[in-house]
Chains A and B, each alone.
Chain A
């Protein structure tokens, strides 16, 4: 009887433990889900962009065939757009109506003409972005049913916009500009290309430095260093380093790399070095753990047939530890990708309107771009901030997925 009661109590306890564990997992997943759902809710509208088809007369009077870059594109665009609203004649109204189109439209046309001078002298229909308030109006973010002085668009502008929309010229295609444009003052033109390039170069520098140095340090500490007070001290300090707030590494980068060594400000090179300092302890710790996880029997086998220490390490231990090392490196890099504070301190939050072309060009990174956009007052940046966070999360998920894949694919089954 007692045995039965005992067994019942044991089962109950097991059930209880399982429920506790499951609810913990559910809570964690729920929070992640909440984050993603709220980001999607806020950011989904940034993945489409309201555009308008405008026939533009690229007359030779306004563009010199010899120097297409010097044409008066502002006038060309304004005239082309206002031709859609022929009933507007008053100067003030024309100004007001012109604001419906993005101020950046003239650069889009300029780029198209410079790329293809044969367009000069023809009338060509361009699909141009609307200015941010009208993008938001079309997406329903700006309400129509409030008094005029409480919204950024006037009743007249709404009427004109509706007139154009009625002619079927308004479309909402996928916003490729979000990925292929660099940053801009105008939300409708702002994209992540500069931030993605900056993050890529910074991570490249970070990887090139921290991966070999981290592995070499870990292999030395784990396989060659004699156990002594010194190695213990080093170990403790590596663990400490892993816990140092990242802003401290940013200050180090600022003081040492920028002020003392005079490296270029806002450059992915400096960002990468700073992130490498931060990633190094993670890589060392995970590499050491993977090296320890290699069964001692393999070392013995190699020693037993007369392999030297470095042969044991290079031929056997390191290859077997590699999946774990790679996983650790990718997780370290993923952390570096999301790191903001050190990049702010070395100026990678600058306003840069062209994608950086190398590791010494000024650039932003994804997290700092999010920071910049989150700070901007325009309605369009609100959605773009969430969209940028989703893009960053996408990269993180991809990297961590790659880490899991590598571990599964190359892990040795003992």
Chain B
């Protein structure tokens, strides 16, 4: 955490206030193996930032640093600086549990709790005390499900088990669950990799809508998806952040040869 010696070269014109989150000199080790080398990346507010790169390149590792999910893994060590609204999230003053309420996460495989649809969404507000009574809680659940574009499909069976839904619906349920605690940032770790194209399209539309209210970081395998949903893209390779910038420019005029090779499909 004290390793913030790396000054980041950010585009001159951009004031830091537009950065919702900012990683500086992030190094991550799993035991003896180093997974991330000196990564510095800005996440801009109310934008979708996609992290792309071949398997094992460290993009999932990086996204899991943003809400300290790596804390749960015992052998994982994170060094460097990551800030949320300018405050170091790895500082001892920050409680990882509260941080995760502000920085929500959606996982690769839809993982609803084995509870009812309602309870899945209501769980977060309940443990964080966001609703003072039952009516409030119901309002939060309905609003979250609507925002996730799921309410119309499930309104008649809110008490059916969450696992009875289809894969795409389960993933939207997980998104509803994440936004029910009103996070500021939503991290999505390959949210569509287990879905069919139609369900994927729904989620992508949803991401675009959610951008108005949330800052979104998405890890994806698919460059097409990155191009479709994100405003900013960061390309990781072998634990190094090779290149980052506006999606448009990344895909048309990459500066690094490796990025060029990856997006033209020469490796991956």
B123 touches A315 (CB 8 A): yes
A316: B residues at CB distance < 8 A: 113
Q: A315-B123, A316-B113 are in contact. Are A305 and B107 (CB under 8 A)?
A: no
B interface residues, how many (CB within 8 angstroms): 27
Report the separation of the CA atoms of residues A305 and B144 in the bound assembly, to the nearest whole angstrom.
14
Q: A304-B69, A305-B177 are in contact. Are A412 and B114 (CB under 8 A)?
A: yes
One digit per residue, 1 when the CB lies within 8 angstroms of any chain B CB and 0 when it does not, for chain A 297-313 equals 11111111111100100
Which of these binds chain A: B33-41, B50-58, B98-106, B195-203?
B98-106
Closest Cβ of chain A: how far from B267's Cβ, in Å?
A: 30
B104: A residues at CB distance < 8 A: 304-306
Closest Cβ of chain A: how far from B104's Cβ, in Å?
A: 6
Does A91 belong to the interface (CB within 8 Å)?
no
Q: A304-B104, A306-B181, A307-B97 are in contact. Are A298 and B111 (CB under 8 A)?
A: yes
Does A320 belong to the interface (CB within 8 Å)?
yes
B72 touches A299 (CB 8 A): yes
B124: A residues at CB distance < 8 A: 305-306
A227: B residues at CB distance < 8 A: 74
Contact of B181 among A226, A295, A299, A305 (CB under 8 A): A305
Report the separation of the CA atoms of residues A300 and B70 in the bound assembly, to the nearest whole angstrom.
10
Contact of B97 among A226, A298, A299, A308 (CB under 8 A): A308
Report the separation of the CA atoms of residues A301 and B127 in the bound assembly, to the nearest whole angstrom.
14
Report the separation of the CA atoms of residues A305 and B180 in the bound assembly, to the nearest whole angstrom.
9
Contact of A311 among B72, B127, B177 (CB under 8 A): B127
A299: B residues at CB distance < 8 A: 72
Closest Cβ of chain B: how far from A224's Cβ, in Å?
A: 12
A306 touches B111 (CB 8 A): no
B123 touches A300 (CB 8 A): no
A226 touches B74 (CB 8 A): yes
Closest Cβ of chain B: how far from A306's Cβ, in Å?
A: 3
Report the separation of the CA atoms of residues A305 and B121 in the bound assembly, to the nearest whole angstrom.
10
A303 touches B98 (CB 8 A): no
Residue among A227, A299, A301, A308 with max Cβ neighbours from chain B (10 Å): A301
B215: A residues at CB distance < 8 A: none
Does B23 belong to the interface (CB within 8 Å)?
no
Which 6 A-B pairs give the minimum distances between C-beta atoms? A306-B101, A297-B111, A304-B105, A306-B100, A305-B124, A301-B111
- 4 new A-B contacts at CB < 8 Å, known A298-B111, A302-B113, A305-B100: A226-B74, A297-B109, A306-B101, A320-B114
Supply 22 A–B pairs (Cβ within 8 Å), ascending by A.
Answer: A226-B74, A297-B107, A298-B114, A299-B72, A300-B69, A300-B72, A300-B111, A302-B123, A303-B72, A304-B69, A304-B106, A304-B107, A305-B105, A305-B180, A306-B99, A306-B124, A306-B128, A307-B97, A308-B97, A315-B127, A320-B114, A412-B114
A residues whose Cβ falls under 8 Å from a Cβ of B: 226-227, 295, 297-308, 311, 315-316, 320, 412
B residues whose Cβ falls under 8 Å from a Cβ of A: 67, 69, 72, 74, 97-101, 104-107, 109, 111-114, 123-124, 127-128, 174, 177-178, 180-181
